[in-house]
Chain A
Amino acid sequence: DTEVTQTPKHLVMGMTNKKSLKCEQHMGHRAMYWYKQKAKKPPELMFVYSYEKLSINESVPSRFSPECPNSSLLNLHLHALQPEDSALYLCASSQVLAGDYGYTFGSGTRLTVV
């Protein structure tokens, strides 16, 4: 299995809602990432998990809360989001320190905050 699976593919939520984005991989990768991408812009790193521990937080607002329950799963919990948080959220995985193999990305969750 060489895929990263993200659910849901689309999500519309109100500013008072709580929702979660899910990401799963079965490639044995021990590093997982969340990226945010606005339209016509490059992806921007949000969080890095290495061996299930949060290694990098790129000063992301606390209304985004990541969780890595095990080596295959990565969640992003959303609460009290703003309309400007509407974006494509991408999950990726890789070997720790990536090596020569690059990152594997999921297809993303397109989030709309209303």
Chain B
Amino acid sequence: SQQGEEDPQALSIQEGENATMNCSYKTSINNLQWYRQNSGRGLVHLILIRSNEREKHSGRLRVTLDTSKKSSSLLITASRAADTASYFCATDDITGTASKLTFGTGTRLQVTL
């Protein structure tokens, strides 16, 4: 079953604008990760935020995590056409000796020139 719900489902912005995607999840987590997927191919890991962290930055990416609200957001600043992709949040849960990554529904981002 899916752990996270993301909104918006789709987002269209112009190059240079900021893009914000939100993710909500249902149960306690070890960490939360964000991934990008281009054209239905492999996923690329963008950033990981641990359950005891509230904010993290990596280049043009800023991620926040609110464990009390079970929600996270991904901000992409100064977007580029190359940022056009689907973005997924994923919650990492440890079950015994294995880690289990469960994906949210995803946001399709379109960045136009």
Contact = CB atoms under 8 A, between A and B. Distances in A.
B70 interface: no
Contacts, number: 78
A90 B43 contact: yes
Nearest to A43: B103
A98 B43 CA distance: 16
Given A102-B48, A107-B41, A107-B42, A94 B105 contact: no
A56 interface: yes
B8 to A, nearest CB: 14
A103 B42 contact: no
Contacts of A33: 101
B55 to A, nearest CB: 15
Given A97-B94, A98-B92, A102-B48, A45 B100 contact: yes
Q: Which size class do B's interface residues fall under?
A: 20 to 34
- Among A100, A101, A102: residue with most chain B CB under 10 A: A102
B95 to A, nearest CB: 7
Contacts of A39: 40
Nearest to A33: B101
A94 B100 contact: no
A42 B104 contact: yes
A100 B58 CA distance: 14
Contacts of A45: 100-102
A94 to B, nearest CB: 7
Given A42-B2, A102-B33, A56 B41 contact: no
- Among A42, A43, A50, A97: residue with most chain B CB under 10 A: A42
B96 interface: yes
The 6 A-B pairs of least Cβ separation, nearest first, read A55-B98, A102-B45, A42-B103, A107-B42, A98-B99, A105-B43
Interface of B: 2, 30-31, 33, 35, 40-45, 48, 50, 88, 92, 94-106
5 contacts: A42-B103, A45-B101, A55-B97, A96-B99, A107-B42
